[in-house]
Structure 1
Amino acid sequence: MRIVLFLLLFVFTGESALSQSVDRVFKDISEKENHYEIHVSDGTYRFQFYTPDIVETSFIPEGETFQEKSHAVVMSARQVDIDVSQTDSSVVFQTKGITARIQKAPFQIAYYRGNKLLIKENGYSKDSLETIQFGITEEEPLYGGGARALNMSRRGYRLELYNRAHYGYGDRSELLNYTMPVVL
């Protein structure tokens, strides 16, 4: 399973009180043929740039493999000019359109358009469930996740990303027909 953050002309902004796992430790960064990898103590983050405005960030937990098929990106990657800089405390990927700043300790990823913070990833964890947390403001709604009998805004719901029909529902069903691991 891979968790994908798809960034294209964002609607997210803000910060949150949630924080990244204090156990996650930055190890190193490597450049591959068409993407970058940041290795951490419990897996690998993969940064694939499709255009100067689109970056797909995938987390591959330790012991799992990257799945090429994406639910978020349907285009092919192309050559993008990326300025990569690294200090003792951070790694920065910057294009003309978007910047990904990775803080090494405590580990955290934040995405910017110019100097404006778009969204922060506050952590991925896997125990009995797989969970990804984002730092967004209280005013920001979350849309997506597939067909469900819920409000359009999915904020406040823990949604399973598993296809299982739920028949006989009244006015609410958190799992109904198709689920999609994409949130806007």
Structure 2
Amino acid sequence: MADTVLTVQQIEDIFQTWTSQALGVTDPGAVRIGWPMDGAPAWHITDDVCFVLVTYVDNPITRQIERSYSPLDPDNANMAHSYIDSVRVSWTLYGPNAFERADIIRAALFQPSTTDTLAANNLGLVTDVPMPIRVPELFNGQWWSRATLYADFNQLVIRQTSVPYITGSDVRIVEG
């Protein structure tokens, strides 16, 4: 009776690995989950770097919850709450190839191997993926090449618990 749900860290790990594969990079610093602690770029203006950010998005599909019951043992039933979490993955890319790499990520989202990877993790792509946006960033008197891209995914979540069967009741008639 295990829950089926991914943590934010698990989703980040999935997309960090997937993004590295989509971009064909093996350098562990090329695709990052976090930003530098000091806030300033911790790489060179000529380095291609990608950051992955996972957030949850509220939308009408996340509000639909289905409850179902199934036998567990002679005294208890299994109650499952099933619902969809809407997950947004944002990629922020820096470097001379930022926009092109964002476009590679976008195209790779529609590959059959990506669908297989997502399905194995109870995730599904919402196929309305916007174009990457080129947004150069001014830092320390220099314009850094930057592009951003996001895509939404649905995650099937199943949370389970056991509930005891009603085995009897106490009925009393009170005359007044």
Shorter-chain TM band = under 0.3
Give the greater-gyration-radius structure (CA): 2
Flag the structure with higher strand content.
1
Task: Give the number of the structure with larger relative contact order, counting CA–CA contacts within 8 Å between residues 6 or more apart.
Answer: 2
TM-score by length of 2: 0.24
Flag the structure with higher helix content.
2
TM-score by length of 1: 0.24
